[in-house]
Structure 1
Amino acid sequence: MNYQALADQIKQWATELGFEKVGICDIDLHEHEAALQKWLDAGYHGEMDWMARHGMMRARPAELLPGTIRVISARMNYLPPKAQFASNLSDPTQAYISRYALGRDYHKLVRNQLKKLGEKIEKEVEKLSYRPFVDSAPILERPLAQKAGLGWTGKHSLILDKEAGSWFFLGELLVDIPLPVDTPSENECGKCKACITSCPTGAIVADGIVDARKCISYLTIEFDGIIPEEFRTAMGNRIYGCDDCQLVCPWNRFSDLTQQKDFHRRESFESPDLLSLFAWDEKTFLQKMEGSAIRRIGHLQWQRNIVIALGNAPYSEQIVSALEKAKGQSETLDVHLNWAIEKQLANLPSSVTSHQRLIRIVQKGLPRDA
């Protein structure tokens, strides 16, 4: 078997399957184990207990698929046309949703394409043990991507490429054949700290190290409890994820738009008015989010995130009324509703007299010093 020729063929097949770039690396990640353990010991994984539960398996691909000696790392662009970054973030009455989640859930699409790639390789070599992963197993995908030459780990902890920025998904195909490996990428961040200084909640605590407990993406997606009050105002109108660290990255000037229509903005998010999204009942939420990664957080968490955004919006009687009517669904939601109502009343226009202000506060059943 001419493995170099096979590696070249694999990359060609991957391009035909919709991947923008593919690289190959060995499975030795021992140099990352100490940093991973230190990150876990610091509690930076928050309530993502599965990260600690799987421990060092994340740095040992062969424990996921015995016999694995190579990882084929692939990336697929997801930046949609008309991303509307500025217009969404600058309008506090509109919801900001991380650009990776505007279309269909990427897990199934990327995994299916990786599976097809594995099938093509298997047909060529006749005997192959392989397994595709897309955020579906405890594996250090970013260090693997860097070893495979797909980019370097930026200070925001995401993979960056000087020809493509960071708006792409990663996926891995574990195989048991001795393919030639690619040259690892070198770090090109230099002295730039734009991502660190722009993080709304200060979640990037050191170069390449993110404290998930402060990260808006973690808080709005992975965490289903009561969001600490210290982060709520900083969340602004971000109701699902956060792209700020990518938005300010100079390398993202070179990003290409996705060729996958499934990643384009869905109709429900063409004009994501906060009050309109908040009005969805659970049945509507499940229908509108069919095939979306957002669906997995559930209706109550969706509402919780929107409640915080509504609290951060300019004062509106309509908003206060909607928040009041939503009470009683759950204790966790009520905590956020009360905060948002207080925040709204604290932002009453100066044109409202102090007497009118007091009446409105008392009517809402809030303390007079609210």
Structure 2
Amino acid sequence: MQTLISKDQLKAYAIDAGFSAMGVCRPDAVPEIADRLQVFVDEGRHGQMAWMAERMNWRGNPSALWPEAKSVIMLAEAYTPNHDPMTVVGQPDKAAISVYAQNRDYHDVVKKRLKAVGRWLLSHYPDEQIKVFVDTAPVMEKPLGQAAGLGWQGKHTNLLGRELGSWFFIGAIFTTIEFEPDAAEQSHCGSCTACLLACPTDAFPAPYQLDARRCISYLTIEHSGPVDLDLREKLGNRIYGCDDCLAACPWNKFAVEAREVKYAAREDLIAPDLAELVLLDDAAFRAKFSGSPIKRIGRNRFVRNVLYAIGNTRDAAYIPFVTSLCSDPDATVSDAAQWAMDRISR
């Protein structure tokens, strides 16, 4: 005989398992996202992320992803830094790496925890089913997170919460179990524009809108090939992701503490030397970033980013590091090296 549990019991278990917050919504709670996604893609704001335009019927309609699902359990997991992530931006000889990537890959950590919560749930509902998602399936986690009451999509389009701040990952458990949905959260950004003003590349055409083609996170992670010339200087020393808009949010004064030690920044990634990173060959790159989300962009794209940062220092001391890369077998790396050399030599 199965033992039924309440939503409050599920939430208590999830929090005990390491999550920071939980909410529930219906799969059809965000009918407006299909139109919003269509406009985003039609205007080309997804850049090279072709997967955004694929399976749009699923991405724009969570109910179509798994028609049998009756509830979506949205979970937040804090990775709040215990250091000021903007300090390194003022150190041009250092590399700025997004906080979330300064240790283990969150996909693996969050998914493992989601599965643990899911197994516990199914132990009480053995005849039901679940599917777990962490940022790798056609699921619009942020609108669903807002529908489930975790927070709201701010003017920078990221999810933030009054009791969470900005620094948290989102995971989803779709299930055939029917739970009472939570109230959706409303925006509490008010007249604040701190995140919009903080963006180095003016990637927000308007509040609550993002043009990924100008976003540093997109440019340093998703974009392959050379970055447009007019954007390279704006990258500064940001070589993997960007935290400027997140760090600027005043709601971070309420940010909850990260509980997972695997998110604690590695000392060698808080403010690493550009001179050290630019010398990494493929084997050294893979060894250094084993288990890190940085590994997925590969050595060539990573070194490209480091060379842009070096060019932005305009420091002739880097000439010996850059010279050999001007003839790198990868065309994008050699292009970045030549650009850096030109900047340094002016």
Aligned residues: 343
Q: Which piece of structure 1 moves more, 308-317 or 105-114?
A: 308-317
Q: Shift in Å at residue 2 of structure 1? A: 9.1
Tell me if structure 2 keeps the 8 A contact 1:92–1:314: no
Cα distance per residue 1:302-322 (max 9 Å; x no partner): 1000000000014223x1121
Q: Give the direction of change, closer, same or farther, for the CA distance of 1:95–1:22 in structure 2 (3 Å limit).
A: same
Cα distance per residue 1:179-234 (max 9 Å; x no partner): 11101111100111111122110101112111111000000001111100111111
Q: Shift in Å at residue 107 of structure 1? A: 0.2
Pairwise mapping of residues 1-370 of structure 1 onto structure 2 (< 5 A)?
A: 5-28=5-28, 29-81=30-82, 83-317=83-317, 319-328=318-327, 329-346=329-346
Q: Give the direction of change, closer, same or farther, for the CA distance of 1:36–1:271 in structure 2 (3 Å limit).
A: closer
Q: Shift in Å at residue 333 of structure 1? A: 1.4
Q: Secondary structure at the match of 2:55?
A: helix
Q: Shift in Å at residue 270 of structure 1? A: 4.7
Q: TM-score, normalised by structure 1?
A: 0.90
**C-alpha separation between the residues in 2 aligned to 1:57 and 1:64?**
5
Amino acid at match of 2:281: D
Amino acid at match of 2:268: S
Tell me if structure 2 keeps the 8 A contact 1:216–1:235: yes
Q: Shift in Å at residue 271 of structure 1? A: 4.3
Q: Which piece of structure 1 moves more, 327-336 or 122-131?
A: 327-336
Q: Secondary structure at the match of 1:179?
A: coil
Cα distance per residue 1:128-175 (max 9 Å; x no partner): 111100001011111100011100110000011112211000000000
Tell me if structure 2 keeps the 8 A contact 1:61–1:68: no
**C-alpha separation between the residues in 1 aligned to 2:233 and 2:137?**
34
Bigger radius of gyration among the two: 1
Percent identity between the aligned chains?
38
Tell me if structure 1 keeps the 8 A contact 2:308–2:340: yes
Amino acid at match of 1:15: I
**C-alpha separation between the residues in 2 aligned to 1:344 and 1:233?**
12
Q: Shift in Å at residue 109 of structure 1? A: 0.9
Tell me if structure 1 keeps the 8 A contact 2:59–2:140: yes
Q: TM-score, normalised by structure 2?
A: 0.96
* Structure 1 portions without partners, runs of 5+: 347-370
Q: Secondary structure at the match of 1:122?
A: helix
Q: Give the direction of change, closer, same or farther, for the CA distance of 1:243–1:271 in structure 2 (3 Å limit).
A: closer
Amino acid at match of 2:57: M
Q: Secondary structure at the match of 2:87?
A: helix
Amino acid at match of 1:199: C
Q: Secondary structure at the match of 1:89?
A: helix
Tell me if structure 1 keeps the 8 A contact 2:237–2:312: yes
Which 4+ runs in 1 deviate beyond 4 A?
none
Amino acid at match of 2:326: K
Amino acid at match of 2:304: R
**C-alpha separation between the residues in 2 aligned to 1:86 and 1:43?**
30
**C-alpha separation between the residues in 1 aligned to 2:87 and 2:36?**
38
Q: Secondary structure at the match of 1:132?
A: strand
**C-alpha separation between the residues in 1 aligned to 2:308 and 2:257?**
31
Q: Secondary structure at the match of 1:30?
A: coil
**C-alpha separation between the residues in 2 aligned to 1:64 and 1:267?**
41
**C-alpha separation between the residues in 1 aligned to 2:52 and 2:147?**
22
Cα distance per residue 1:84-113 (max 9 Å; x no partner): 424311100000000010010000110111
Q: Secondary structure at the match of 1:85?
A: coil
Amino acid at match of 1:333: V
Tell me if structure 1 keeps the 8 A contact 2:95–2:309: yes
**What's the C-alpha RMSD, in Å, of the aligned pairs?**
1.4
Tell me if structure 1 keeps the 8 A contact 2:92–2:236: yes
Cα distance per residue 1:26-61 (max 9 Å; x no partner): 011222211111111001111100110111311322
Q: Which piece of structure 1 moves more, 288-297 or 191-200?
A: 191-200
Tell me if structure 1 keeps the 8 A contact 2:314–2:343: no
Q: Which piece of structure 1 moves more, 71-80 or 56-65?
A: 56-65
Cα distance per residue 1:313-355 (max 9 Å; x no partner): 14223x1121111122211112111111111112xxxxxxxxx
Q: Give the direction of change, closer, same or farther, for the CA distance of 1:152–1:270 in structure 2 (3 Å limit).
A: closer
